[in-house]
C-alpha cells in the first residue's frame, strides 16, 4: 500500500492506485478489443498515450476475494506501468464501465495533473524508522487519503465518461450505495475513518442525493460532519465543466486537511511531476 520514491516515501492508497504487487500466475492478459466497444478502445489509447504500456488483466472468480467483489476493478503497479485488473464475474457492460472508470482516473492524473496524496517520510530515515513511523500512525490513513482522491476524481469523471464517450457509471453508483450502507453499520472510532465517511457521504449527496435515506444524520459524529462540510467547501465546485488546475487541486486538498487539523507540510502528491500539468 505504500511506494518508495527518491525523495519521500508517501503512504498512498486508492482502490485504483499505488500498490506494488507481484504478478500472480492466475492473472491473465485481457484483450480490450474483445469487448467490441470502440469508445472504450479510444479511451484506452488516449490514456496509453499519456502513460504507455497500460496492461489489462482478468482475475478468475476463485481468486477474487471479498474486497474485490465489492471493488471489482482496480489499478495496481504505480508508480511504474499501471495494470488494470477486473473480476471475471463482471458481464460485458460492467466490464466496459469498470475498465473505463479506471482509465478515466489515469486520465485525470496524467492529463490534468490531479494526483493522489500520501504522508511524507524523510528519506534520511532507516528502514526500521520508516516501519515504526507507519505502524505508529493513528487512525486509518489508508481509508482517508484514498477516499479524498476517489471522491475528487469521481465528481469529474462520471460526467466526463458520459459526455465524452457515452459510457455510464451505473456500477460505480451501486458500489457507492453499498459503501453508504456499510457506513451505517460501521463502528470505527478513529478520526480518520470518521472523516473518510463524511467524504463518502458528500460524494453520495453530489452524485446520487439524499444520503439521509441510508444513514441517520442525527447519529453521525462531529468528525463526520466536519469532513462533510469541509468537502463541500473545498470540492463543492468540482465537475466535468469545472476541472481544477493541478495547483488549485493540490491547494484545495491541503486546505481540506488543514481544516481537519493536519499540517499541510506533512503531505505529498503523486505523481510528483504533477506541477508540470498546471
Tell me the three cell numbers of residue 13: 492508497
Q: Where are the domains of the chain?
A: 140-266
**Is a pLDDT exceeding 90 seen at residue 258?**
yes
Q: Is 168 exposed, middle or buried (0-12, 13-18, 19+ CB in 10 A)?
A: middle
* Spatial separation of the C-alpha atoms in residues 129 and 122, rounded to whole Å: 10
**Predicted TM-score (pTM) of this structure:** 0.82
* Spatial separation of the C-alpha atoms in residues 38 and 33, rounded to whole Å: 8
* Spatial separation of the C-alpha atoms in residues 162 and 145, rounded to whole Å: 26
* Spatial separation of the C-alpha atoms in residues 209 and 196, rounded to whole Å: 18
Band (123; pLDDT cuts 50, 70, 90) = low
Residue (of 159, 149, 139, 169) closest to 75 by Cα position: 149
> Is residue 47 a contact partner of residue 105, using CB atoms and an 8 Å limit?
no
* Spatial separation of the C-alpha atoms in residues 21 and 74, rounded to whole Å: 12
pLDDT digits (tens, 9 = 90+) for 82-118: 999 999 999 999 999 999 999 999 999 999 999 988 8
**Scanning the structure block, which residue is given the C-alpha cell 476524481?**
153
pLDDT value at position 59?
87
* Spatial separation of the C-alpha atoms in residues 201 and 173, rounded to whole Å: 13
Residue (of 206, 230, 207, 228) closest to 217 by Cα position: 228
* Spatial separation of the C-alpha atoms in residues 99 and 92, rounded to whole Å: 11
pLDDT value at position 60?
79
pLDDT digits (tens, 9 = 90+) for 10-34: 333 334 444 444 444 556 899 999 9
Contacts of 231 (CB under 8 A, 6+ apart): 151, 198, 199, 202, 203, 256
Residue (of 32, 30, 35, 36) closest to 44 by Cα position: 32
> Is residue 171 a contact partner of residue 99, using CB atoms and an 8 Å limit?
no
Band (2; pLDDT cuts 50, 70, 90) = very low
pLDDT value at position 61?
64
Residue 116 zone, left/alpha/beta (φ > 0; ψ -120 to 50; rest): beta
What is the SS3 assignment for 244?
coil
* Spatial separation of the C-alpha atoms in residues 94 and 160, rounded to whole Å: 17
Which residues are paired to 118 by β-bridges? 268
Amino acid at each position: 500500500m505504500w511506494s518508495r520514491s527518491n525523495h519521500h516515501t508517501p503512504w498512498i492508497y486508492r482502490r485504483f492506485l499505488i500498490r506494488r504487487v507481484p504478478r500472480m500466475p492466475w492473472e491473465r492478459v485481457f484483450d480490450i478489443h474483445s469487448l467490441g466497444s470502440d469508445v472504450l478502445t479510444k479511451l484506452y489509447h488516449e490514456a496509453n498515450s499519456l502513460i504507455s504500456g497500460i496492461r489489462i488483466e482478468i482475475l478468475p472468480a476463485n481468486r477474487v476475494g471479498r474486497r474485490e467483489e465489492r471493488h471489482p476493478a482496480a489499478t495496481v503497479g504505480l508508480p511504474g506501468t499501471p495494470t488494470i485488473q477486473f473480476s471475471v464475474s463482471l458481464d460485458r457492460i460492467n466490464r466496459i464501465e469498470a475498465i473505463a472508470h479506471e482509465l478515466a482516473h489515469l486520465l485525470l492524473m496524467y492529463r490534468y495533473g490531479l494526483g493522489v496524496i500520501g504522508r511524507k517520510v524523510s528519506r534520511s530515515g532507516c528502514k526500521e524508522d520508516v516501519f515504526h513511523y507507519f505502524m505508529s500512525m493513528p487512525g486509518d490513513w489508508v481509508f482517508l487519503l484514498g477516499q479524498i482522491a476517489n471522491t475528487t476524481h469521481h465528481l469529474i469523471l462520471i460526467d466526463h465518461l458520459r459526455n465524452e464517450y457515452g459510457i455510464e457509471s451505473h456500477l460505480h453508483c451501486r458500489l457507492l450505495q453499498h459503501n453508504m450502507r456499510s457506513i451505517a453499520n460501521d463502528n470505527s472510532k478513529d478520526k480518520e475513518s470518521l472523516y473518510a465517511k463524511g467524504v463518502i457521504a458528500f460524494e453520495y449527496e453530489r452524485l446520487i442525493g439524499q444520503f439521509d435515506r441510508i444513514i441517520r444524520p442525527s447519529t453521525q459524529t462531529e468528525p463526520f460532519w466536519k469532513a462533510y462540510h469541509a468537502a463541500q467547501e473545498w470540492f463543492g465546485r468540482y465537475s466535468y465543466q469545472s476541472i481544477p488546475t493541478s495547483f488549485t487541486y493540490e491547494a484545495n486538498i491541503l486546505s481540506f486537511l488543514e481544516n481537519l487539523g493536519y499540517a499541510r507540510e506533512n503531505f505529498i502528491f503523486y505523481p510528483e511531476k504533477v506541477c508540470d500539468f498546471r
